[in-house]
Amino acid sequence: MRSITTAACAAVACLAMALPAAAEKLSLTEISRYLNSFQTASGAFTQINDDGTISQGRIMIKRPGRVRFEYQPPEDMLVVSNGDTVGIIDGKSNEGPQGYPLNRTPLSIILARNVDLTRARMVTGHSSDGKTTTVRAQDPEHPEYGNIELIFTASPTELRQWVINDSAGAKTTVILGDLKTGVRLGNDSFVIPGLGGVSRSNR
């Protein structure tokens, strides 16, 4: 009986060692450090829109302030931030490019020159499910602009997903593939067609 009990205990111990350990909740300081650790990044993304439709494409990030979403067919759309303005170019629309101030969108929080999630009233939620850490952040001066939920994995710290809840009540989820950081991206990638203008955040 003792040998059976010993063997059972050994099997349980081996199984426990084989299971992935629960990840600790990442601190706001660590997440801010990670977001500030790179200026450029690119990779694939999958977007779940508010109406449930799904889009895919490639994202390019050049902090501060610049991001480019290139959508794959059948979508005929491009979304570009030049550092000041977010331009939406819909090839299926008869209207020209639509522009919105970047600082009125929750995405501006992670595109800032210096991300500091420890700032008072910026973070309204900070939790972990044992595998990922989720942070919900907003502009502390203008919570009416909406918020962004950021989802990270640890070891190493990586941004995997975000959910934007905008001022109109719409919800957009972006699931990231493996982001490659430190890539070379020219400023011409962040000019808004039809609106022009290179980011003034270089100043």
Please choose, from the candidates 98, 122, 118, the residue with its C-alpha nearest in 3D space to the C-alpha of residue 32.
Answer: 118
Are 151 and 161 in contact by the 8 Å Cβ rule? The answer is yes
> Each residue of 66-92: pLDDT tens digit?
999 999 999 999 999 999 999 999 988
User: Do 47 and 59 form a contact (C-beta atoms < 8 A)?
Assistant: no
Residue 129: per-residue pLDDT:
95
Q: What pLDDT does 23 receive?
A: 64
pLDDT of amino acid 50: 94
Q: Which residue has the tokens 């003034």?
A: 200
pLDDT for res 197: 45
Residue 144, SS3 per DSSP = helix
Phi first, then psi: what are they for 49, rounded to 5°? -85, 170
Instruction: Give the pLDDT of the chain (203 residues) as one tens digit per residue.
Output: 434 344 334 433 443 444 345 568 999 999 999 999 999 999 999 999 999 999 999 999 999 999 999 999 999 999 999 999 999 999 887 777 889 999 999 999 999 999 999 999 999 999 999 999 999 999 999 999 999 999 999 999 999 999 999 988 899 999 999 899 999 999 999 999 887 544 343 33
Phi, psi of 91 (to 5 degrees): -65, -15
Global pTM value: 0.81
Rg, the chain, Cα only: 21
Instruction: Report the pLDDT value the prediction gives residue 203, as an integer from 0 to 100.
Output: 35
Cβ atoms 135, 9 nearer than 8 A: no
Residue with tokens 């005929």: 76
